[in-house]
Structure formats: structure tokens, C-alpha cells
Structure 1
Amino acid sequence: MALNFQPSLIMLGTYFDKRRPLANGLAAAGSPVFLSSLSPLGQVLLEKFGWRGGFLIMGGLLLNCCTCGAVMRPLDMAKKKPKKGKKLLDFSIFSNRGFIIYTISKFILVLGLFVPPILLVNYAKDTGVPDTEAAFLLSIIGFIDIFARPACGMVAGLKWVRPHVAYLFSFAMLFNGLTDICSARASNYTGLVIFCVFFGISYGMVGALQFEVLMAIIGSQKFSSAIGLVLLIEAFAVLIGPPSAGRSRAAKQNTGVGFASIPWYCRYRGWAK
């Protein structure tokens, strides 16, 4: 997954220009489709084939990424001689102030972005929600996310919105952070469903806009290096955020603490200018 994610984003930037925000939104909608079906599908596969058979089937589904990659072609089919001395990663992008602020913001964002999907089911069980209904909460997030991403991409592509897409992304981060903070007030299944709806919207907005904003900041020429470095830095945030939230939950026996302890990243949005 890690090896095909970055090239697919770079190819989108190559194929599209005018409709790139919508293309990013539609492409990003594939992730919530799998998220909404993962919980019930995983349960069925576990019951019928066991965990080994279930993982084999999941692996077969992921092999379809090879098929998708096979249909991608360079727009310029003419053979060009590779430039000598071309760097694999262009670290000169760190001289761009906007890129530095974007990277810091994304690091703080990712610290808490994946905490709710990871801890949500256990939190619901702790509040007395049955296992089946608790697992269904992830499907709600995924279903809302399916429509939020292309819709946000469509809005971002409007001629009077696109020049200010960074502000829209700033709002998405703020919205996501405030949603996480308010999640600590959800003490029953109805409250959790409402949280999942708003989290799905904010999560979809972030997913649809994050790479469009990066392209606007850094440009298409250095986008491949920029996205590689951003994803590398984000990986450290993913390693820190969810385990830290899980440790907070274990210490305080309250998953809501884990939800609300991370989203202070919503304040870091001044880079939008």
C-alpha cells in the first residue's frame, strides 16, 4: 500500500490540472468505501474462513492495486533522456516557508487524525454498546466519508474557491479538531452516531484537500519530492499519536480522554496564508 499510494497521487497531478481538486476527491473516496465495508466484511471472513483465510482474501483484494497501476501511462510517450545528476529527493523545498508550515501542521494533524477510528469501537463497548452496533460506527464514518470527499473536491474546484483552497483546508482541520474534542461528551449510542457523522464529514474534507493544498504551495515540478517528504514525516506522527492516546485511555480508563487529548492541532492553521 505504501509503495503504490504516493505514485498514484503524483499521477493524478500529472493527468489533471483544471479538475484536479475533483479528481483528488474522487480518488480519495476509494478509502472510505473500503472503511465502510471493512468491519462487516472482516467479521464475515473471520467466521467463515478464520483469520488466515480472511487475510488471504484481503490480500487478494489488495492485489487489484496492481491492475489499477497497470493502466496508468505517461502522458508524454516520447522517450526522453534522463537528466544527469537528478536528485531522488529535492530538499531545497525546505527553503519554502509555506512548505515548512504545512509540514508542521500536517504532523500535528496526523497525531490525532487516526485516533477516533482506532479507539472508537472500544469506546462504544465501554459505554455499553453491543459489539455489532459498535463495529457499525466505523461503517457510518466510511459511508459519510464517501460523499464528503468528492463533494469537497467539487467545491474546492470552483473558480472563486480554488485560489483560497488553503483557507478551506484550515477550516477542515479546525472542524476535525473540534469534532474530536466534542466526542468526549458522547456517552450513548445516539451521541456516538452524531459524532461519526460530523467526524466523517471533517475527515473527508481533510482527505480531499490535503494534497491539493500541497500542490498549490509547492507547485507541480517539486510535488513528487514534497509528497514523499511529507508522508515520511507523517509516518512518525502515526507512530506517536494512536499509541499515546491508547496509553491515556489505559491510564484513565476513558477513551474520550484519548479523543480529546490530541486535537489541539486544530489551532495550527496560520500557514493558510
Structure 2
Amino acid sequence: MATKNRVPMDKDWAWAVVLGTFGSMALVIGTLKSFGVLLVELSHRYDAPASLLASSQSLCGWLHLGLAPVSNILSQPFGHRWVVFCGGILSAIGLVATSFVRDIKWFFITYGIITGFGFGLIVATVLVFPSFYFDKKLPLALGLASSGSGMGAFIFPNLTRFLLDEYSVSGCLLILGGILLHICAFSLLFRPTSYWKNENHETIIKPHYTHKKNSSEKEIEINFEEDEHSELLEVNNPSIITSVAEARSAILAERRLFRTKSLPSLSYATHLCVIKPSNSENNIYSSKMNTEFKISRQICTSSSKVEKHVRNTLKPPFINWELFKDPLFLLINAGVFSALYGHHNSFNFVPPLADELGFSESEGALSVSIVGITDLIGRISGGIIGNAFFKRRIKLFIICLLVFSASSMIVVHVTYFYVFIVFCGIQGLATGGFMGVQISMIADELGREKLSTAWGYVAFTSSFSVLINPALSGAIKDSSCSWKNSFRLSSACGFLGSVALLTEVYIRKRLQKKYPAS
């Protein structure tokens, strides 16, 4: 019998994958969000201005998104589990090394580059991996998984404050580095889908031939049944179908959706695999239609011209330029960039805005906590609502982005603290909503087969918002002597992003009417 697809879609181990993503995101984003707590202590330790230390944080923050295409490329040959595992090792080494350095230059290397590089290998990889285990419940799974970011942002700043008070800055960084090693444990939950194949790891080949009348030519069709896909290999010249060529077909069976009508270069194949007839007859050209051959799926070490050709044909390009030619992808990219710009603005500058509006420091700290906890609630509820009520998550993304933009425009005019924290809560819910559905939105609009590549490019583009937002908002504050204009800018960016995504929806609808079969 053929190999069955036993991947537990939407059930069982799939939720363990969600747990792995949740934990990894909580540790990475929590560490990034707690840098503000470390800032004062680090400035005393290195005798450096806060602006210089903040630039190292910007570098680390940029790398955790900007390396998304790199992590996507590395995941293809090495697997997602190993990429996340290595990212956990690198980020832990970076923080542990930072606890020992006394020079600001080395701080940039250990924290900004090494830790940032580790984070970059982790984030993009864990966010797309649930798509291999979920189908109908993908938006819910991604919403729950991304909520780890909100949980980490809520817990880690308080944990960092406690560690600083108890163990000083060196001990705090050392312990945080040890905590990040738990990412390696979470990576073990990312089982590749090949794990769920049949236990005997055998592929069934069902060959048959048909004799063409008035012709001495025969056809042999070999059908490889593997997982949920069906792969067809047709060979029109039976004179070259030898045990050697059949062995080569075992290699080709490992490639998915491969189809060819003539492979004369199969004669170059070498004896690499063993073919075992399932019945007593050894003649492959028997007229029996149901003869089955079991091929042991050995990993063949030698290469041939056929194997090289297949590998070169199926190898994905280093950069998918066709994706950048797609106007729908470009519009989605612009919308996500605008949304992430506003997201960073809410977390970074709510305290100084509260101070400017006349509220106390404790009230400003409470406002940040309100944004953090409502962001967590928004991510979870966004996944649930998107899974239950929206077939296309881009509509929910647009709604959340518009709500965020409107609240950002209004909050700068508030004079009462309780009204202020209400709008902070609305901002948190809105940002959590669109952050929780952004990946499922990309999967809906561009297709799941393009999700890893598309999200890598979107994350890389959006990573520049981490660099631009602090510098641009600071420049606006210096020129206007007010933080209000930076919030007005983030509101304008949100409205522009909504327009870009609405344009994408309109264009796609027109294309579907024009090409209904596509």
C-alpha cells in the first residue's frame, strides 16, 4: 500500500508547534522590549550617552526582522528546527558575552550583531512554521502563536527590573542569556512533516505498460504515491528501463510534482538503490497491471547527470524577482510597513506623550502596561475572530489599522487620564489585531506556497521601520518640541497603509472578474 499522509493537520502535535512558536516569540520580543529597563544601567556602565546605546538596540531590532530572507533560505537545506536551534544558541551567546564586556564597541558586536543575528534566525522561521501544520485553523494558530510577543513584552521588563535589583547588570544579562537557551528546547517541537511518513519509509511503485497497435514501441508509466501528492514519471523507451534506471527513479520519487516525458539520460545512472519485486516474477515487462515494486528509500550519495539536472531544475532561486513584479505583493508590503511603523510608535513614545500631556511618571508607566496587555488580548482575539468570521483576513487587518489610525489621531488631544488609558487600550487592541493576522493575510492573498518567501521579504522591508521610527520621531520632537506630531505621522501612515490594502482588494476583485478561471 502507498505511503499515507499522517501529518496531524489542525490537531494533536500541531498545537505543540503553536506552543513552540509562542514560547520562542515571548523570549525574543520580551528581551527586546526590556532594553529600556537596562538603558540607564548600561549608560552608567559604559559611560556612554543613551542615544549611542539606543542605536545598538535599533541594530538588534532591525536584524530580528531584516534577516527573514536569510533564515528562509537556510531553512530549505537545513530545516526549520536547526535554524531556530542555532538562533537560540547565538542569541544566548550574545547576551552572556555582553555580561562580560566593558567596552561600548564590543557591546555593539555582542548585543547588536550576535544577539540580533540569533533573533533574526528565530523570528521569521517560527512565524511561518505553523502553516505546515494548520489549514482551516491557521489564523487562530497564528494569532495564538504571535500572542507570545505580547506576553513577553508584559513579563520581561518586570523580570529584568527584578534581576537588576538583585544581581546588577552583569548578573541580569547572564541570567537572561541562560533563559534564552530555552529557545533551543522550543525548537525541538518543530518536527518536520517528513517525521509523520509511514514507519517503514517505503514508496510504492505501480508500473504497467500498454502495447501500441502497429508499433513496436511500448509505454511504461510509473506512478509514485507519496503523502497527499501524486508524482508521475513517464518513460517512452523501455529499452533503457533497466534496474539501474529504476534505481534512479527512486531518487526522482523524492522530488515532488516532478513530471517529464523522456529521460534518455537515465542510462547514466549508477547502481545506488536496490529494487525488490513484491511478487515472484522478476520481469518488469510483465503484462500484469498490478505488479508492485517496493523501493527502499536510501539516500544516494553519488551523483549523475540526471540528478544534477533535477536538483538544478527544482532548486528555488536565491531571490524571487517575480514576486517583486507582482503589484499585489507590493501593495501588501506597503500596508504592512505602514502598520508596523505605527506599532513601534505606540510602544516607544506613549510615556513621553503622557508626560507632555501632564500625567505623572507612574501614570505613564501604567499606560505602557495597558498597551502591552491589550496588545496581547488583540493578538489572541484577532486570530479567533479572523478564523471564525473572515474568509479573507486582509479585511480584518484593514479594520484594525483604521481603528489604530483614528485612535492615534484622537489620543493627542485627550486631557483626562482615564480617557487617555482608554485610547491606549484601543491602540493596543488594534495593533494586536493586525499583528495577529498579518501572516495569515499574506497566506490568503499570495498563497501558502509563497508564504515563507513573501513573509521574508515583507519582514525585511518592515524592519526598516524599526530604524526609521525612533530617528524620525526624535527629529520631529526636536523641531516641533512636541511628541504629538509623531503620533499624527503614525496615524497618517496607518491611513495610507489602509488605502494601499484597499487598493489591493479592489485590484484582486477586478482580476477575478476578468480571469474567473485563474
Q: Calculate the TM-score normalised by the size of structure 1.
A: 0.90
Match of 1:220 in 2: 448
Match of 1:137 in 2: 367
- Match of residue 252, structure 1, among 470, 475, 480: 480
Q: Structure 2 CA distance, aligned partners of 1:236 and 1:145?
A: 22
1:102 and 2:220 correspond: no
Match of 1:149 in 2: 379
Q: Structure 2 CA distance, aligned partners of 1:182 and 1:89?
A: 42
1:272 and 2:505 correspond: yes
The CA deviation string for residues 38-65 of structure 1, in whole angstroms up to 9 with x for no partner, is 3333332232222332233333333222
Match of 1:19 in 2: 137
- Match of residue 187, structure 1, among 415, 423, 444: 415
Match of 1:31, as an amino acid? S
Identity within the alignment, %: 23
Q: Structure 2 CA distance, aligned partners of 1:89 and 1:157?
A: 32
Residues 23-32 or 95-104, more deviating = 95-104
Match of 1:199, as an amino acid? Q
1:165 and 2:283 correspond: no
Match of 1:66 in 2: 184
Unpaired runs of 5+ residues, structure 1, are: none
Q: How many residues align?
A: 271
- Match of residue 5, structure 1, among 123, 129, 138: 123
Q: Structure 2 CA distance, aligned partners of 1:33 and 1:60?
A: 19
Match of 1:205 in 2: 433
Residues 193-202 or 181-190, more deviating = 181-190
Q: Structure 2 CA distance, aligned partners of 1:45 and 1:135?
A: 19
The CA deviation string for residues 135-176 of structure 1, in whole angstroms up to 9 with x for no partner, is 232221121122221211111112xx3323211111111111
Q: Calculate the TM-score normalised by the size of structure 2.
A: 0.49
Match of 1:117 in 2: 347
Q: Structure 2 CA distance, aligned partners of 1:133 and 1:54?
A: 26
1:240 and 2:468 correspond: yes
Q: Does the CA contact (< 8 Å) of 2:144 and 2:380 recur in 1?
A: yes
Structure 1 residues 42, 150: CA separation in 2 closer, same or farther (over 3 Å shift)? same
Root-mean-square deviation over aligned CA pairs: 2.1
Match of 2:373, as an amino acid? F
Q: Structure 2 CA distance, aligned partners of 1:104 and 1:183?
A: 25
Q: Does the CA contact (< 8 Å) of 2:143 and 2:384 recur in 1?
A: yes
Structure 1 residues 178, 57: CA separation in 2 closer, same or farther (over 3 Å shift)? farther
Match of 1:31 in 2: 149
Unpaired runs of 5+ residues, structure 2, are: 1-118, 202-253, 256-309, 507-518
Structure 1 residues 254, 227: CA separation in 2 closer, same or farther (over 3 Å shift)? same
Which one has a larger percent helix, Structure 1 or Structure 2? 1
Which one has a larger percent strand, Structure 1 or Structure 2? 2
The CA deviation string for residues 66-123 of structure 1, in whole angstroms up to 9 with x for no partner, is 2111221111236946943322442222233221110122222223220121111222
